[in-house]
Structure 1
Amino acid sequence: MLTVDFDRLELRPGDRVLDMGCGAGRHAFEMYRRGGDVVAFDQDGDELAGVLDLFGAMRDAGEVPDGAEADIKQGDALSLPFADGEFDRVVASEVLEHIPADTDAIAELARVLRPGGTMAVTVPRWLPEKVCWALSDAYHEVEGGHVRIYTGDELVAKLVAAGLVYEGRDHAHGLHSPYWWIKCAVGVDRDQHPLVKAYHRVLVWDIMKKPLATRLAERALNPLIGKSLVLYLRKPEAA
């Protein structure tokens, strides 16, 4: 389930790309599949071990173009272990809402992006997230959980203040907001609740089969209740 539009990011084969806060690696895998030279970065070593294993499986299965490379790196988002301007593309998906010092993390993302390079940043959208917080403290009051709810304009301002140029936004995963509202209403840990199980089956069916009906439904819902806000930015060319 991808949140970022990689065509809009202008990802090309051979681009050096960073997936900061990669988690289980969903965006890193797609960038590798498209021929990127990918670094999957996270502070969770266990997650990264799984990502590295799947990179190898993709390579062995012939799922990536010749010349594509992928590796992992563990570290701190506030002190990225990369050179200035090292990456052509940077993705930070659903990570800034977890970081108390978000402006410091944004400064690091801008630092490692080359002049002229592009960045995609995604966070939970304000309205769906406000509903989740209102329904359940347990949704966000966990170790490593969400520490803030962004408005779109607030996040754009922080990214622009770091020297990036805002190029546009999108919304994604409109079908997923009701799922999380149900989970928050019945208890976020009650995965076996009948309503949660039933909606989860619908989401899995949608992801696996991509039927036209749900594609059209999500397209209609995304502008209204899309779970994720997606921002696209560019670093200005050097003077």
Structure 2
Amino acid sequence: MLTVDFDKLGVGVGSSLIDVGCGAGRHSFEAFRRGADVVAFDQDVAELDNVDAILQAMQAQGEAPASAKAEAVKGDALDLPYDDGTFDFVVASEILEHVPEDERAIDELIRVLKPGGRMAVTVPRWLPEKVCWMLSDEYHANEGGHIRIYRADELLEKVAGRGMRFDHRHHAHALHSPFWWLKCAVGVDKPDNPIVTAYHRMLVWDMMARPWLTRNAESLLNPLIGKSVALYFEKSADPKSPAV
């Protein structure tokens, strides 16, 4: 289940990409399939071990071009261990809402991006997230949980104000918003609730089968209740030129 639109981002064979806060690796896997040299970057060793195993299996089974390389790297998003301008693409999906020093993290994401490079940042959308917070403290008030709710324009200004040109935005995963509202309403610690279980089965079926009905329904609902907002930026090739 991808939040970033890789066609819009423009990732292809021979490009370099870092997926900061890669989690279970969904965006790293897609970039690798498309032939990019990928760094799956996270601080969770257990997650990274799984991501690394899948990347190696993809390579062994020929699911990525032979020229592509991939590695899983543990580290801190506030101090990326790479030189300025290392990557053609930077992805940071659903991580900034967890980071107390979000502006410092944004600075690092931009620093390692090459001039002319492109970046995709996604966060939970304000309205669906606000409903979750209203329904349940447990949803966000936990170690490593969400510490802020972004308005898209607020995040856009934080990134664009650092010399990045804003290009595009879209919303994603509208069918997931009601699922989280249900979980929050009945209790996030009650995964066996029959309504939550039934809705989860529907989401799994939707992701596996991708039927016309739910795909079109989600496309129509995304502008209204999409669970995530994705913002796309380009780094100026001229560091002296102003952001647009």
Q: 1:181 corresponds to which residue?
A: 181
In structure 1, what is the equivalent of residue 172 of structure 2?
Answer: 172
Alpha-carbon deviation of 1:238?
Answer: 2.5
SS of equivalent to 1:130: helix
In structure 1, C-alpha distance between the alignment counterparts of 2:20 and 2:168, rounded to whole Å? 20
Aligned to 1:218: 218
1:88 alignment counterpart:
88
Letter matched to residue 18 of structure 2: L
> Percent identity over the alignment?
61
How far did residue 28 of structure 1 move? 0.2
- Residues 89-113 of structure 1 deviation map (CA, whole Å, 9 limit, x = unaligned): 0000000000000000000000000
Q: Which residue of 1 aligns with 2:155?
A: 155
Q: Kindly state the Cα deviation for residue 10 of structure 1 after the two structures are TM-superposed.
A: 1.0
State how far apart, in whole Å, the 2-side matches of 1:153 and 1:238 are.
Answer: 24
Distance 1:12 1:207 in 2: 24
- Aligned partner of 1:228 in structure 2 is 228
Counterparts in 2 of 1:2-151, with a 5 A limit?
Answer: 2-151=2-151
User: 1:59 Cα deviation (Å)?
Assistant: 1.0
Q: Secondary structure at the match of 1:78?
A: coil
Bigger mean CA offset, 33-42 vs 56-65: 56-65
Residues in 2 aligned to 1:163 and 1:139: alpha-carbon distance in whole angstroms: 34
Whole-angstrom distance in 1 between the partners of 2:146 and 2:227: 14
Distance 1:169 1:194 in 2: 35
Letter in structure 2 aligned against 1:219: S
CA distance in 1, matches of 2:176, 2:115: 35
Shift of 1:163: 1.6
- Deviation of 1:72 (Å): 1.1
- SS in structure 2 of the partner of residue 35 of structure 1: coil
TM-score by length of 2: 0.97
Would you say the 8 A contact 2:99–2:147 is kept in 1?
yes
CA distance in 2, matches of 1:140, 1:185: 13
Deviations 1:115-163 (A, max 9, x none): 0000000000000000000000000001000000000110001001222
Q: List 4+ stretches of structure 1 deviating above 3 A.
A: none
User: 2-side partners of 1:59 and 1:180: how far apart?
Assistant: 35
Q: Over residues 43-70 of structure 1, what are the superposed CA-to-partner deviations in whole Å (9 max), with x where a residue is unaligned? A: 1111111100000111111111120110
Determine if contact 2:59/2:66 at 8 Å carries over to the other structure: no
RMSD over equivalenced CA pairs, Å: 0.7
Match of 2:242 in 1: none
Equivalent residue of 1:157, what SS? helix
Q: Please list the CA deviations of residues 159-183 of structure 1 after superposition, one character each: whole Å capped at 9, or x if unmatched.
A: 0122211111000000000000000
Q: How many residues align?
A: 239
Q: 5+ residue gaps in structure 2?
A: 240-244
State the shift of 1:210 in Å: 0.3
My pick for the range that moved more, 126-135 or 155-164, is 155-164
Residue by residue over 1:180-215, the C-alpha shift from the partner in whole angstroms, topping out at 9 and shown as x without a partner, is 000000001211100010000000000000000000
